[in-house]
Amino acid sequence: MRHSEKATMTLTIQVRRGTYYDSVVLMQLQRALLALPGVRDAGVVMGTPANFDLLRQSNLLIDPPRDARAEDLIIALRADSDASAEAALAQIDALLARRSTPTDSEYRPRSIESAARMSPNATWVLVSTPGRYAARVARDALDLAKNVFLFSDNVPLDQEIVLKQIAAQKGLLVMGPDCGTAIISGAALGFANRVRRGNIGIVGAAGTGIQTVAARIHNLGGGISHALGTGSRDLSDAVGAITARQSLALLARDPATDVIVLISKPPSPAIAEMLLRAARAIAKPVVIDFIGYVPEKNRDDNLFFARTLSDAAELAIECVPSFPSVPLFPGTEMKEQREIRKLSGYFRALYSGGTLAYEAQLILRDYLDTIYSNAPLLTTNQLPLTSVSQAHTILDLGADEFTVGRLHPMLDNDLRIRRLHQEARDPEVAIILLDVVLGFGAHPDPARELAPAIADARATRSIEIVAVVIGTDDDPQNASAQIAQLQNAGARVFTDHAAAVRAVGEMIGKKSERIEKIERLEIRDSEIVALIIAPNISLDTPFAAINVGLESFYESLKQQNQDAVHVDWQPPAGGNEKMIALLEKLKRNL
Amino acid sequence: MDIESANREAVTRMIEARPVLIGMGKARAVIPGMKDNLLLHAGPPITWERASGPLRGAMIGALIFEGRARDEISARALIERGEIEFDSCHHHGAVGPMAGVISPSMQVYIIENKTHNNRAYSNLNEGYGKVLRYGAFSDEVLARLRWMNDVMAPLLADAITASDGIDLKALIAEALHMGDEGHNRLKAGSILFLRALAPHLAKSAHNNSDLAEVLKFMGDTALTSLNPVMAGCKAMADAAHNIADSTIVTTMARNGTDFGIRVSGLGNRWFTARADIPRGLYFPGFNADDANRDIGDSTITETVGIGGFAMANAPAIVTFVSGKPKDALNATLEMYEITCAEHKYFTIPYLDFRGTPVGIDIRKVVEKQITPRVNTGIAHKNAGVGQIGAGLVRPPAQVFEDALVAFASGMRD
């Protein structure tokens, strides 16, 4: 920005206390403000410290307002003049009011209870409310004997444990919290790709991990029976893998599932052993990718060990008898094999998928000495300031600190585009890597927004941009069309994540012959017992769901012609803590 | 008792109550606690100083009607000297629409709940235009009141006795299937009421001209059945009152200044806040600036699951909500969110004969931030102008929060 231009700019900030809007509404408001005359940039976020950092990065803020709280709605504007800023602020109520229920529309229930009356066959409840309310909503669902897909993050660990224990007692399943992806009988929940139905079942503790494996299986010609998410903490010692064990049990007895894939970051040895024993007791092949865990052998009876997500998909396909081989994205895949040229400079990755960010760090350990991250493998590599990259940096922009009161980067490209420009301006940067995750729940056309930003970045100087597209041609966005847009903008596009990261490694580093540390996991046959809590639910009943929270999840279910009811959820007692406490007290009195 | 059982008990009593109109009588003689110098009024208790225009006008008119004052000036002087006491109708088992003023010599309907044996009372409906309940007290208004008291009421009393009682619960249930919601629309109920009484009126009448006048008066106003229906609802609500540990609302009422509620498990304590101005349709020449704050005891209908709660029964008056029949349906569907039961006898054909939402639970109101929907007439803020429109209003959320705080503070931790 030129100084003269800067001098005429005006920065305005408005704080709205105790107002709740879901993050899709915030994004819509932000876009609507940007379209107003004289408004150069706008930020509409909840008042968390991380969001204030982002506003500062975008030159939308100098100092955060004093006493701003995480529950406050923050509207920051950069406008040509005070008059334009004021005119824009005056529009806010009208812009927000557009959202209110139009007349003559179908009734929108305000609680799961009412929704359950309207749709008595619903067996699943999708919960994506803010984390502090999510456990209560999930509990209401369990009380009505519904299974829960708990997308919300920031749910306290003790609440997760209580929910899962109650669910296990009732024979119900709680996927999550922080469960991004699931596929139940062909219905894609949350962020999930449209994949053909088949005989491979997935249990995953990581949303993008499931998406990557499911999309790759589809692209290799295979199909998915069900994909069950556990949430990122399920495999911790504290939770004890309750959901993962239930899920394995479900898939073990599911007649539509012939092969099972289990994906997770490496659990503690105790949990790993528990799961491996449970898997050994299943009379079906189980492909295991404890991402980063290097097994002693590649196969142990019915267990197959994968090293990457791509590898897991391929192993699962190999376990399916008489499988036909199909070409991958004919015409596009060949370009992945382009000659690798050596580059000097730093590497920056802007991930929307946490599991991919994690896998990338693991793969690049073989090529680069130090990689900083906001979610590093080793705490010594913690990025000091998440708003500024240093040396080689891998960012997980879907991590909590970037998403509290803000839309996930799979839905909103704004943050990634801002960051892409920021990295491209850094003269020491030679390669930028982006993942582009497609599917239901994701942005309807990410390449349309990312491609011009990529072209811009490459126009200023020679910089390599690598894009990994996770998706299928059946996805609403169409993977081939997305790949073409990104390639036309000059990006080097991959559909195999591990291959993309290795290519980056080759370009910028040197493969070292590291001695891999072998973590031995011994399973003695005599100890193989079924440590499984089997839910009462059956996966082959027709899918029907109640959605509480993000309306886009409801819309994506309707787009898939699935039976769904959306709850017009609001925080209890309007978020009034005193009233919430009283209501809890009256409920305890039951 | 735990809250859920207490609420079940309260709402079951509300639903199972069977109010029957059994007779008429002078307020002084039949209403418990009625005194010569006492005026009852709609809504929670209020002082003269805080009373709104229509309520003041009705009180002045009632004193002139009673012969206690010659005119407005002497009526005001009487009140300001402190010689007149005011009390809420609800403290005496009574209800009245709009200002709801009941004075000692007024003839009132006597309703008995045959299931639980409690009684309720309401005054006679004066029809449209300049009427006491909107604060008018001109000679014409007073003359009509005297005719109603001296000619119509005795005839009605004889007819009711001869009829062996009018079952108001059956009447409401039937009217709901004829397009009424029982608060703003009573066209069907009033015809049913007149049909039930007409033969007995004819038999009791001493001359045809009085009979014709009474039949015409009752037939001309579609609100004829409002007052007995309200008293019927009051008998149902009172049957559910004073159930220990129940969080069910048993009174909603407005005095033109405040909106007040009472809760079954919280005894006779009122929770009040400034009443709102209804949103709605205004008669030609009037707008919201002319409107008085919400007024009247007719919210007793919503309290027992009809009125705004039965909006799905009354598509004909959906213009008060927005204009589309679907919105009438949605209005009722929303009320299921804050009630604890569905009515066994009041049903909605369009919803597959589902019962109307009944038994407002203060916990649900506070948790979901959904306040009850009330269909209401709109009074002019100046005494005597009358009704200027009809529409929708909701009680202030504050009263439910205050009630919840009071309820929780009475509980053992």
Q: Quick check: B405 contacting A, CB < 8 Å?
A: yes
Calculate mean pLDDT across residues A482-498: 95
Strand partners, B361: B248
Mapping DSSP onto H, E and C, the string for A164-215 reads HHHHHHHCCCEECCCCCEEEECCEEEECECCCCEEEEEEEECCHHHHHHHHH
Percentage helix, strand, coil for chain A under 3-state DSSP, each rounded to 5: 40, 20, 45
- Write out pLDDT tens, residues B387-401: 888 888 999 999 999
Measure the CA–CA gap between A550 and A400, rounded to whole angstroms: 17
Answer yes or no: do A139 and A209 share one domain. yes
Question: Which helix (H) or strand (E) covers residue A533, if one does?
Answer: none
Contact B368 A103 (CB under 8 A): no
Residue at A584 is within a domain: no
Answer yes or no: do A167 and A315 share one domain. yes
Q: In this structure, what are the phi and psi dihedrals at residue B98, rounded to the nearest 5 degrees?
A: 50, -125
Q: Is the pLDDT of residue A7 over 60?
A: no
Residue B394 and residue B372 in contact, taking contact as beta carbons nearer than 8 Å? yes
How confident is the model at residue A294, as a pLDDT?
A: 73
Measure the CA–CA gap between A554 and A547, rounded to whole angstroms: 6
Where a domain ends, among A38, A65, A98?
A: A98
When computed from its CA atoms, the radius of gyration of chain A, rounded to whole angstroms, is 24
Measure the CA–CA gap between A83 and A91, rounded to whole angstroms: 13
Contact B323 A111 (CB under 8 A): no
How confident is the model at residue A528, as a pLDDT?
A: 43
Residue B183 and residue B305 in contact, taking contact as beta carbons nearer than 8 Å? no
Answer yes or no: do A27 and A157 share one domain. no
- Write out pLDDT tens, residues A345-397: 999 999 998 899 999 999 999 899 899 999 998 889 999 998 899 999 999 99
**What is the dihedral sign for C-alpha A389, A393, A397, A402?**
negative
Q: Quick check: B7 contacting A, CB < 8 Å?
A: no
Residue at A71 is within a domain: yes
Strand-by-strand arrangement of the A464-470 sheet:
A372-373, A393-396, A346-351, A429-437, A464-470, A492-494
Answer yes or no: do A433 and A347 share one domain. yes
Residue at A394 is within a domain: yes
Tell me which of A397 and A56 has the higher pLDDT.
A397
Q: Is the pLDDT of residue B323 over 50?
A: yes
- Say which residue the tokens 């891998």 belong to: A394
Calculate mean pLDDT across residues A186-208: 93
Q: Closest Cα of chain A to B297: distance in Å?
A: 27
CB-based contacts of B177, cutoff 8 Å, min separation 6? B313, B347, B349
Q: Find the farthest-apart pair of alpha carbons in chain B and give their distance in angstroms, rounded.
A: 68
How confident is the model at residue B231, as a pLDDT?
A: 98
Residue at A492 is within a domain: yes
Answer yes or no: do A175 and A310 share one domain. yes
Q: Which of B318, B366, B398, B401 to mutate to test the interface with A (most CBs of A within 10 A)?
A: B366
- Say which residue the tokens 């390639």 belong to: A487
Chain A residues 112-141 with CB within 8 Å of chain B: 114, 117
Residue at A585 is within a domain: no
Contact B2 A590 (CB under 8 A): yes
Residue A252 and residue A239 in contact, taking contact as beta carbons nearer than 8 Å? no
Measure the CA–CA gap between B157 and B204, rounded to whole angstroms: 9
- Write out pLDDT tens, residues A276-331: 989 998 999 999 999 877 777 788 889 999 989 999 999 999 998 766 655 555 44
Q: Closest Cα of chain A to B327: distance in Å?
A: 6
Beta strand ranges found along A295-392 (DSSP E): 299-300, 303-305, 346-351, 372-373
Residue B243 and residue B264 in contact, taking contact as beta carbons nearer than 8 Å? yes
Encoded tokens for A116: 């359950």
Answer yes or no: do A124 and A72 share one domain. no
- Which CATH number does the domain housing residue A449 bear? 3.40.50.261
The yes-or-no answer to whether B10-230 and B241-408 have a common fold is: no
Residue at A489 is within a domain: yes
Q: Quick check: B337 contacting A, CB < 8 Å?
A: yes
pLDDT category at A531 given cuts 50, 70, 90 is very low
User: pLDDT averaged over chain B?
Assistant: 95
Question: Which helix (H) or strand (E) covers residue B110, if one does?
Answer: strand B107-113
SS3 label, residue B67: coil
- Say which residue the tokens 């007779």 belong to: B23
Encoded tokens for B354: 């589902």
Q: Closest Cα of chain A to B367: distance in Å?
A: 4
Domain chopping of chain B, boundaries: 10-230, 241-408
Encoded tokens for B347: 């049903």
Output DSSP code: residue B173: H
pLDDT category at B35 given cuts 50, 70, 90 is very high
Q: Closest Cα of chain B to A579: distance in Å?
A: 7
- Write out pLDDT tens, residues B349-372: 999 999 999 999 999 999 999 999
Residue by residue, DSSP assigns B348-407 as: EGGGTTEEEEEEEBHHHHHHHT-PPPEEEEEEBSSTT--EEEEEEE---HHHHHHHHHHH
Contact B404 A586 (CB under 8 A): yes
How confident is the model at residue B242, as a pLDDT?
A: 97
Nearest to A583 among B337, B363, B370 (CB): B363
Q: Are strands A563-567 and B85-88 parallel, antiparallel or unpaired?
A: unpaired
Residue at A200 is within a domain: yes
Contact A570 B324 (CB under 8 A): no
Contact A586 B334 (CB under 8 A): no
Contact B407 A585 (CB under 8 A): no
Nearest to B404 among A111, A574, A579 (CB): A579
Q: Are strands A544-548 and A563-567 parallel, antiparallel or unpaired?
A: parallel
Answer yes or no: do A481 and A390 share one domain. yes
Other CB atoms within 10 A of residue A324 CB: 8
Residue B261 and residue B252 in contact, taking contact as beta carbons nearer than 8 Å? yes
Contact B327 A107 (CB under 8 A): no
Calculate mean pLDDT across residues B62-84: 97
Q: Quick check: A100 contacting B, CB < 8 Å?
A: no
The residue in chain B having the minimum alpha-carbon distance to the alpha carbon of residue A568 is B368
Calculate mean pLDDT across residues A405-421: 88
Contact B408 A582 (CB under 8 A): yes
How confident is the model at residue A3, as a pLDDT?
A: 36
How confident is the model at residue A529, as a pLDDT?
A: 45
Q: Quick check: A579 contacting B, CB < 8 Å?
A: yes
Measure the CA–CA gap between B183 and B307, rounded to whole angstroms: 5
Calculate mean pLDDT across residues B24-50: 98
How confident is the model at residue A51, as a pLDDT?
A: 79
Contact B367 A110 (CB under 8 A): no
How confident is the model at residue A24, as a pLDDT?
A: 67
pTM of the full structure: 0.82
Instruction: Calculate what percentage of chain A has a pLDDT beyond 70.
Output: 88
Residue B299 and residue B90 in contact, taking contact as beta carbons nearer than 8 Å? no
Give the residue ranges of DSSP H helices in A11-152.
23-34, 49-57, 82-97, 112-118, 131-143
Beta strand ranges found along B52-103 (DSSP E): 85-88, 94-95
pLDDT category at A126 given cuts 50, 70, 90 is very high
Q: Which domain holds residue A343?
A: 330-508
How confident is the model at residue A242, as a pLDDT?
A: 94
Q: In this structure, what are the phi and psi dihedrals at residue B313, rounded to the nearest 5 degrees?
A: -80, -15
Answer yes or no: do A447 and A312 share one domain. no
Chain B residues 309-328 with CB within 8 Å of chain A: 322-324, 326-327
Answer yes or no: do A84 and A63 share one domain. yes
Q: Is the pLDDT of residue A436 over 50?
A: yes
Strand partners, A313: none
* A contacts of B337 (beta carbons < 8 Å): 109-111, 114
Measure the CA–CA gap between A451 and A438, rounded to whole angstroms: 15
* B contacts of A107 (beta carbons < 8 Å): 329-330, 333-334
Residue B186 and residue B175 in contact, taking contact as beta carbons nearer than 8 Å? yes
Q: Is the pLDDT of residue A264 over 90?
A: yes
Residue A128 and residue A73 in contact, taking contact as beta carbons nearer than 8 Å? no
Q: How many domains does chain A have?
A: 3
Q: Is the pLDDT of residue B345 over 60?
A: yes
* B contacts of A114 (beta carbons < 8 Å): 333, 336-337
The residue in chain B having the minimum alpha-carbon distance to the alpha carbon of residue A578 is B405
First to last CA, chain A: 62
Measure the CA–CA gap between A557 and B16, rounded to whole angstroms: 43
Q: Is the pLDDT of residue A505 over 60?
A: yes
Answer yes or no: do A143 and A258 share one domain. yes
Q: Quick check: A577 contacting B, CB < 8 Å?
A: no
Angstrom CA distances, B405 to A454, A582, B330, B335, stand at 57, 7, 30, 22
Measure the CA–CA gap between B378 and B93, rounded to whole angstroms: 25
Encoded tokens for B155: 């005839």
Q: Quick check: A105 contacting B, CB < 8 Å?
A: yes
How confident is the model at residue A525, as a pLDDT?
A: 47
Tell me which of A31 and A4 has the higher pLDDT.
A31
Contact A103 B2 (CB under 8 A): no
Q: Closest Cα of chain B to A500: distance in Å?
A: 49
Answer yes or no: do A181 and A232 share one domain. yes
pLDDT category at A10 given cuts 50, 70, 90 is confident
How confident is the model at residue A416, as a pLDDT?
A: 95
Residue A492 and residue A465 in contact, taking contact as beta carbons nearer than 8 Å? yes
Q: Find the farthest-apart pair of alpha carbons in chain A and give their distance in angstroms, rounded.
A: 78
Contact A573 B407 (CB under 8 A): no
Answer yes or no: do A406 and A503 share one domain. yes
- Architecture, CATH, for domain B241-408: Alpha-Beta Complex (3.90)
Cβ burial, residue A561 (10 Å; 0-12/13-18/19+): exposed
**Candidate from A220-234, A501-515, A561-575, B239-253 with smallest mean pLDDT:** A501-515
- Say which residue the tokens 């540390």 belong to: A517
Q: Closest Cα partner for B109 from B283, B262, B232?
A: B232
Encoded tokens for A459: 């126009």
pLDDT category at A460 given cuts 50, 70, 90 is confident
Return the CATH number of B10-230, one of 3.40.50.2300, 3.90.1710.10, 3.40.50.920, 3.40.50.300: 3.90.1710.10
